[in-house]
Every structure is written in structure tokens, then in C-alpha cells.
Structure 1
């Protein structure tokens, strides 16, 4: 792999593939939306709504470092439409779980991103 290994893929096609694949790795009743980042060609915006009665939603930015590696950043956590402190133990546990799912999704899409 060269130092110039960059992601060469249409952003909308990538977002669509992510949306489909992410649903297979999340908890069955969680919902996710994936959109291409309008400001960065190598990034996606991921919005996840939790299942159940907690009404939490999580916003992540997922950037491709290269065609195989992603960097995931938490942007915001809301409960019932209001931003909440993401430093609590329960939210940190949920964030860690979703970050793991996002990395798992990226691994499943290696065939698409490295072709």
C-alpha cells in the first residue's frame, strides 16, 4: 500500500453502501442514516437513533484516512431532540459500542473501498 492510497469512490455510492451495511451490524431496532459529508469528499456523516424508550440519537463523522482505515469522531448526542452530556458512563458505553459497529461496517466494505 502506498502513501498515496486514497479513497477513490463516489461519495453517494459509498454512503448508500454504508447505510445498507450499517443496518446489518447495529442492534436490530436501531436506525441509522448515512450521508456523504458535503465539506469533505473522504468523510461520511452517520446519524444513529437508539432502539427503545431512551430516545437517544448519536451523530458521528467517519473519515477515511486511506482506502482501508477510518477515523470516527463523535459530533453530538441528543435525547429527545436536546443535546446531552456525552461524558456519562452509560452514554460513553453506547458511544464505544457504536464506534465498534462503525469500524465493523468499514471492514465489511473493504472490497468496495479498495477496488
Structure 2
């Protein structure tokens, strides 16, 4: 098996700061996002998004850099008012799809930083 040469070469904290600045610019203005470093893996970021409005949903995503350009986004958890909810409903799936698209968009905007 060949080793990948296109690996992420950026300090994780620098990446967290860049994501923290960029992600809110691609989300709906009323949504809030927090980005955290994954303690176990330097190629992973944890993204927490809270929706605005009466629904009070919060979403947790695991964002793994496959290489310096591509991210794999996994939904970890969805909560409403602090309680777990069924992630399979159409409303939740639509929101998840939307947030995954925004997370990919954020990663694209940071290519100049992650591919240097």
C-alpha cells in the first residue's frame, strides 16, 4: 500500500481558528457554529452547530481531512433542547444535508491554507 503524499500539514489549532472564522460566513446568519480540535486525531475537527429559531436544534459533526483538500463529514449527534432526537426525519435530514454542504464549502474556502 502506498503512503499518501497529500497529507494535511497545518497546525490543528491554526486550522480550528481558520474554521472558526470561516464557517459562520457560509452558514445562515442566525446559526451559530463552534469548531474544536479532536484530541485523538490531528486530522479531525469537531463542529457544533446550533440552529436559530424556535426549534433549538444542535448538530455535532466529525470532520475528517482525508487529505489536504478533501473532508469527510459524519453526523455524530442531533439534539433538541438538550435531548437526542430521531435523525431520520425529513426535517432533520434536510438540515443535516444543508450543514454538510456548508462544511464542505468552508473546507473549499480554506484550500489555500490546507494545501500549502
Q: Which runs of 4+ in 1 moved over 6 A?
A: none
5+ long unaligned stretches in structure 2: none
Could you tell me which residue of structure 2 aligns to residue 114 of structure 1? 115
Structure 1 residue 26 corresponds to structure 2 residue 41: no
How many residues of Structure 1 are paired with residues of Structure 2 in the alignment? 114
Per the TM alignment, residue 52 of structure 1 is displaced from its structure 2 partner at its CA by 0.8
Could you tell me which residue of structure 2 aligns to residue 4 of structure 1? 5
Could you tell me which residue of structure 1 aligns to residue 47 of structure 2? 46
TM-score (norm 2): 0.96
Could you tell me which residue of structure 2 aligns to residue 97 of structure 1? 98
What secondary structure, in the 3-state scheme, does the structure 2 residue paired with 1:61 have? strand
Coordinate RMSD, CA, aligned: 0.9
Per the TM alignment, residue 3 of structure 1 is displaced from its structure 2 partner at its CA by 2.9
TM-score (norm 1): 0.97
Q: Deviations over 1:55-86 (max 9, x none)?
A: 10000000000000000000000000001110
Mapped to 1, the partners of 2:21 and 2:42 lie a distance apart of: 20
5+ long unaligned stretches in structure 1: none
Per the TM alignment, residue 53 of structure 1 is displaced from its structure 2 partner at its CA by 1.0
Could you tell me which residue of structure 2 aligns to residue 87 of structure 1? 88
Structure 1 residue 64 corresponds to structure 2 residue 69: no
